[in-house]
Amino acid sequence: MSSKSKAWFSNVNPNVFISTVVIILIFLAIVIFAPDAFELLTKKLNQWITDSFSWFYVLSVALFLILLTGIAVSSMGRIKLGPDHSQPDYTYPSWFAMLFTAGMGIGLMFFGVAEPIMHYVSPPSGQPETVLAAQQAMRVTFFHWGLHAWAIYAVVGLSLAYFAYRHQLPLKVRSALYPLIGKRIYGPIGDGVDTFATIGTIFGVATSLGFGVTQINSGLNYLFGWEQSILTQIILIVVVSSIASLSVFLGLDKGVKRLSELNLILALLLLAFIFLTGASIYLLQTTIQTAGQYVSNLFSMTFNLYAYQPNGWIGGWTIMYWAWWIS
């Protein structure tokens, strides 16, 4: 085994690793050997969570955004996430590219187009396929992919970075609990927190990967006639996972950074192509108008639970997004 591999494995917590693997294997076994029962269970669980805890998700994410806004405008916003004399390792464009790729990535490529159409034909309120439905569809899409998503990411990132780089604690989720439980983060409680966080992250990445390979498969079918099948999607999962694993193995500078910058360049080229070859003036008008409506309705949308029209929409969209971003 190479020295690099030994160094990597030396950072692996066996308690967290084994617990995570066992839980994931049990989960996969249920999916493989009892798919119908698993589907029924997940539907009932999703419905129960939506009915019982949608208020908790909405309130939590609202508090995240309020908390981060307060930090940003106060003196705490000037505290460096590192020693006082430290300087950033990356330029703002490179840092933004990595944030964009890891935070939004392929999900935005799909839902940026699909979500407004879905809300237009099946809006959360009002009549479908009307001018008001179109405006609402764009506004809700901005809401789902806007400040709240980044607030969720920032809460976790800020907690990790502050305790890791200001107080030299492990770069793990457990470190955020140090003010509450002290050195017990190094024991079973800390292992449990990291295991829970790891499993949540795996499920979150699996969701993104599932959406992504379905989208890629559909695109290949449309362009080249590739069959839309489970086998094709498995091959795509292996290819995408291999590229992602290689970029992580190469490290931030040689792998993640370069792949993220390439991803951002391709996204900007796609944006420029659509803008220049499409209805440019109309795109500018709708973007500016929707951005204004998003900002002016931000407070009401943040706390809107559609309590007086319980049609299940919020569970399939807003709550799903908040849970996805959190994972």
**Span 88-110, pLDDT tens digits:** 889 999 999 999 888 887 788 88
Question: Measured between alpha carbons, how far is 24 from 18 in angstroms, rounded to an integer?
Answer: 10
Question: Measured between alpha carbons, how far is 82 from 153 in angstroms, rounded to an integer?
Answer: 19
Name the pTM for this structure.
0.88
Span 60-81, mean pLDDT?
Answer: 93
pLDDT at 79 over 80: yes
Percent of the chain whose pLDDT exceeds 90: 56
3-state secondary structure of 12: coil
Tens digits of residue pLDDT in 20-54 = 999 999 998 998 899 899 889 988 988 898 889 99
| Residue 151 pLDDT | 95
Tens digits of residue pLDDT in 254-269 = 888 998 999 999 999 9
**For the residues of 147-210, what is the DSSP string, one character each?**
HHHHHHHHHHHHHHHIIIIIS---SSGGGGGHHHHGGGGGSHHHHHHHHHHHHHHHHHHHHHHH
Give 82's DSSP letter.
S
* Domain coordinates in residue numbering, the chain: 15-53, 94-326
Tens digits of residue pLDDT in 301-318 = 999 999 888 778 999 899
Q: What's the half-sphere exposure (Cβ side, CA atoms, 13 Å) at 287?
A: 9
Q: What's the half-sphere exposure (Cβ side, CA atoms, 13 Å) at 66?
A: 9
Assess contact for 160 and 173: CB atoms under 8 A. Answer: yes
Assess contact for 153 and 325: CB atoms under 8 A. Answer: yes
Higher pLDDT, 10 or 279: 279
Comparing 6-15, 20-29, 194-203, the range with the smallest average pLDDT is 6-15
Question: Measured between alpha carbons, how far is 286 from 283 in angstroms, rounded to an integer?
Answer: 5
241 falls in which pLDDT band (50, 70, 90)? confident
Assess contact for 263 and 98: CB atoms under 8 A. Answer: no
248 falls in which pLDDT band (50, 70, 90)? confident
Tens digits of residue pLDDT in 167-182 = 999 989 999 999 999 9
